[in-house]
């Protein structure tokens, strides 16, 4: 049993502990947005978590966690779940979505494209797969889950400018901005060592949680939660957007990395304000 320990940095709370235990004690309906990327059960080398449960045990565990997320999420809140399968386990994300139909509505399904070939040119991070059976997996899922399926989003807040500017007047848009759609190209930043990844096997780019929060819509006094904080990427995104956040992480070393990253960003912002 992990005894929870909480510390505060600026507008953000970092909690070392088991997310199930911590969320059981959080106030009901206290969170506006959840952005998280749990372990995928693909055998990745986490420091203190065995990422190789049986499929049934993993789905049971994730269903229980999502029940607790539903408890702390506001009625008009958004839950962005980043998860992926593998070539050998392609059904896992969809099996989980079937399990969650009794808890959430799948309001949007977004494909996070990490690498794409346009013509003969590859853009983004390409991870080779040594296989004669499978093509490379260049995307992951972002499932946007809500309680009723009726949450109004800030589509333009997470949008993009028009390439053809004539569309602004011709389609009677109020500004040079359109919906980004359900495919998001967000490449990884290139890292050349495990140390540069903060010794964590599954870091996602800051742009991913930032875009999720923007899509939900920035609101006064909003709260963002990441129950699998890892090295604090969601909290970094929250700080960039000047919204409050809570991160929960069971591994002490990852919490230390998250604290270091967040403190550096807050201090950098304070220096810029001087």
For residues 85 and 79, give the distance between their C-alpha atoms in angstroms, rounded to a whole number.
19
In the predicted structure, residue 240 carries a pLDDT above the cut 70: yes
> What does DSSP say about strands 5-9 and 12-16: parallel, antiparallel, or unpaired?
antiparallel
Bridge-partner residues for 227, per DSSP? none
pLDDT of residue 273: 65
191 C-beta neighbours (distance < 10 Å), count: 12
In the predicted structure, residue 177 carries a pLDDT above the cut 70: yes
DSSP state of 201: T
pLDDT of residue 184: 97
Q: What tokens were used for 265? A: 């960003």
23 vs 89, more confident: 23
pLDDT tens for 95-126 read 999 999 999 999 999 999 999 999 999 898 77
pLDDT of residue 197: 52
pLDDT of residue 45: 47
In the predicted structure, residue 1 carries a pLDDT above the cut 60: no
From 1-5, 28-32, 147-151, 161-165, the region with the lowest mean pLDDT:
1-5
Q: Is the distance from CB of 224 to CB of 167 less than 8 angstroms?
A: no
Mean pLDDT, rounded, of the chain: 89
CA-based end-to-end distance of the chain:
44
For residues 251 and 230, give the distance between their C-alpha atoms in angstroms, rounded to a whole number.
8
Residue ranges and CATH numbers for the domains of the chain are 5-273 (3.40.50.150)
DSSP state of 180: -
pLDDT tens for 13-53 read 999 999 999 999 999 999 999 999 998 675 544 445 465 67
For residues 193 and 67, give the distance between their C-alpha atoms in angstroms, rounded to a whole number.
37
222 vs 272, more confident: 222
From 48-62, 173-187, 227-241, 242-256, the region with the lowest mean pLDDT:
48-62
For residues 252 and 44, give the distance between their C-alpha atoms in angstroms, rounded to a whole number.
18
Of how many residues is the chain composed?
274
In the predicted structure, residue 210 carries a pLDDT above the cut 60: yes
């Amino acid at each position: 049993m992990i005894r929870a320990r909480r510390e505060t940095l600026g507008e953000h709370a970092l909690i070392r502990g088991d997310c199930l235990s911590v969320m059981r004690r959080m106030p009901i309906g206290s969170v506006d947005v959840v952005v998280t990327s749990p372990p995928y059960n693909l055998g990745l080398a986490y420091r203190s978590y065995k990422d190789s449960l049986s499929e049934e045990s993993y789905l049971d565990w994730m269903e229980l966690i999502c029940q607790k997320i539903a408890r702390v999420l506001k009625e008009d809140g958004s839950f962005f779940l980043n998860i992926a399968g593998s070539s050998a386990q392609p059904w896992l994300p969809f099996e989980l979505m079937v399990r969650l139909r009794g808890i959430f509505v799948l309001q949007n399904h977004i494909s996070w494209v990490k690498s794409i070939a346009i013509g003969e040119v590859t853009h983004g991070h390409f991870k080779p797969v040594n296989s004669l059976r499978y093509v490379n997996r260049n995307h992951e899922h972002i499932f946007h889950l809500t309680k009723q399926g009726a949450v109004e989003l800030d589509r333009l807040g997470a949008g993009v400018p028009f390439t053809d500017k004539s569309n602004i007047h011709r389609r009677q848009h109020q500004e040079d901005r359109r919906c980004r759609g359900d495919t998001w190209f967000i490449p990884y930043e290139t890292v050349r060592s495990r140390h540069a990844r903060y010794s964590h096997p599954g870091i996602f780019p800051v742009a991913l949680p930032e875009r999720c929060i923007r899509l939900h819509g920035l609101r006064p006094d909003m709260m963002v939660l990441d129950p699998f904080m890892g090295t604090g990427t969601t909290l970094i995104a929250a700080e960039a957007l000047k919204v409050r956040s809570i991160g929960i992480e069971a591994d002490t070393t990852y919490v230390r990395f998250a604290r270091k990253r967040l403190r550096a960003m807050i201090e950098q912002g304070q220096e810029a304000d001087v």
